[in-house]
Amino acid sequence: MPRPEPLTIPPRGNAPFHVAIIGAGFGGIGAAIQLRRAGFHDFTILEAASDIGGTWRDNTYPGAACDVQSHLYSFSFAPWPHWDHMFARQEQILAYLRWCAGTHGLDPHLRLDCPVREARFDEKAQHWRLRVGNGDELVAHAVISATGGLSQPQWPDIPGQKEFRGEQFHTARWNHDVELDGQRVAVIGTGASAIQVVPAIADRVRSLDLFQRTPPWVLPKPDRTIGPRERTLLENLPALQWLQRQRIYWSLEPRVLGFVIHPRIMGGLQALAKLHLRRSIQDSELRTRVTPDYTIGCKRILMSNDYYDALQRPHVTVHAGGASGLTPGGVLDGNGHEQPADVVIHATGFKAADAPIPYTLTGLDGASLNDRWAREGAAAFKGTTVHGFPNFFLIVGPNTGLGHSSMVHIIESQITYVLDALRTIARTGANWIDVRQEAQDQWNADLQKRLAGTVWASGCNAWYQSSHGRNTTLWPGFTWQFRQRTRRFDANAYLTDRDVA
């Protein structure tokens, strides 16, 4: 694998230039590996939890697996020949991330159980001050914030949750102490998490009531096991692994055309999903109940070979119309009828579109990014830098999400950009860089113009939209276009401390 160009940053005053990485999921681990591979060792990874892994540590629900093939949903600079399924299970992805951290020597840089509460730019000292959970303060000259787009669970906005007397939990905080065998279980939500959970638990429970508000489009999942012989071959022939990655990448990339050019192009995919539905569900009434009424792709397209089977078990009931509340003994359907339940599982997703930053972030002139984004909606330049927040870099920032390919590809592109920004700081001797407001505004105006014609704007209610009515989550293009735009740090779009001195 080609190494990133070397990175050596001269000390600032008496102190070495220090980088704080917030979060040890794919984004934080990837950034740390690339810093080390570039020969830069002065960084700390601050992780709020007691283990690394991000979303792949938190989502331990039964059936949790990736819906992108693992040879692509992994770092190109840390290929792994050991995937035992085309679409890896959660435990194996977590094992992969631990392997990445171990083999790339990240352990000495890791501070676990160390939630960042506040990051404040000290204009006089020209560096960031980070306050962590135990009250300690850490100084950093640059901050890479990789806290993840899907890290904060969204509980349903329905009354009665405090009154429910049984057990309840969110899929991203699965309570493994709760026994599901023989219980009456209610699942709220029919998104990517629910369609994995429902088939995984259906056989164990006494009854399963699924509360669906909007049915998803579901395609067959082209999964298969990767046997020991194939894995040995991949291990011994790295070129074959590379080819496998390329094959998957180029097979997924054209799918973006249907998302961004015209919703009509989605016709073929929608026909395939309808065929999957017709072949899988015989009962026409149930089929009608789970047939979506919006264009495929407007909400995330799901993949499963066993979801529809599970819905047809005699003890499984789909309640269209969603859940309208909880009572002490169960869940109210859309008509207000109570469905008794011992356990309620909230498969209701994450706070994604409003891109919350899970700590207080204060930049130049005391500006608060938390307030700004709450007021105006999330916006950044290239999903990575934000005007007024010098030397602050987001991984998986606004409008970097994908509906068609691997987020790890986007993460790698952003890391390349951040490393090049740090190289610019090293080369020019500047203390900080700050993206110009005009550059950021132009970037976002262009994005919103392109998003207006996409399938995501075709009239469904998806978490891609922020509460301000803008799509602040998705990248409306090919992933190689994003890579092209982040290949080099574009210094002209930035001010430095010297420009404002």
> Which residues of this protein are in contact with ligand N01, per CB under 6 A?
65-67, 150, 156, 158, 171, 188-194, 211, 213-214, 300, 322-323, 347-350, 461, 463
In whole angstroms, the minimum distance from the beta carbon of 66 to ligand N01 comes to 5
Closest to ligand N01 by CB, 20 or 332: 332
- Minimum separation from the CB atom of position 52 to ligand N01 (A): 18
Least CB distance to ligand N01 at residue 304 (A)? 10
Closer residue to ligand N01, CB minimum distance, 31 or 396: 396
> Toward ligand N01, which CB reaches closer, 180 or 188?
188
Alpha helix stretches (DSSP H) within 261-396 = 267-280, 284-289, 307-311, 369-376
Collect all residues with Cβ–Cβ distance below 8 Å to 247 and sequence separation of at least 6: none
- Residue 447 or residue 462: which is nearer to ligand N01 going by CB? 462
For ligand N01, give the closer residue by CB, 304 or 444. Answer: 304
* DSSP code, position 445: H
State the minimum distance, in angstroms, from the CB of residue 348 to ligand N01.
4
Q: Residue 214 corresponds to which amino acid? A: T
Quick one: which H or E segment has residue 235? helix 228-236
Query: Which residues lie across from 118 on neighbouring strands?
Result: 131, 360
209 within 8 A of 186, measured Cβ to Cβ: yes
Q: What is the DSSP string of 109-124?
A: GEE-S--EEEEEEETT
- Tell me the closest approach of the beta carbon of residue 324 to ligand N01, in angstroms: 7
Distance CA 54, CA 34 (A): 18
- Count CA atoms closer than 13 A to 147's CA, side-chain side: 21
- Measured from the CB atom, is 166 or 292 closer to ligand N01? 292
For the chain, how long is the longest CA-to-CA vector?
74
Q: Residue 53 or residue 390: which is nearer to ligand N01 going by CB?
A: 53
> Chain-centre distance of CA 332, in angstroms?
31
- Smallest separation, CB 322 to ligand N01 (Å): 3
Quick one: DSSP state of residue 4? P
Instruction: State in angstroms the smallest separation of the CB of 450 from ligand N01.
Output: 21
- Locus of tokens 């990655």: 245
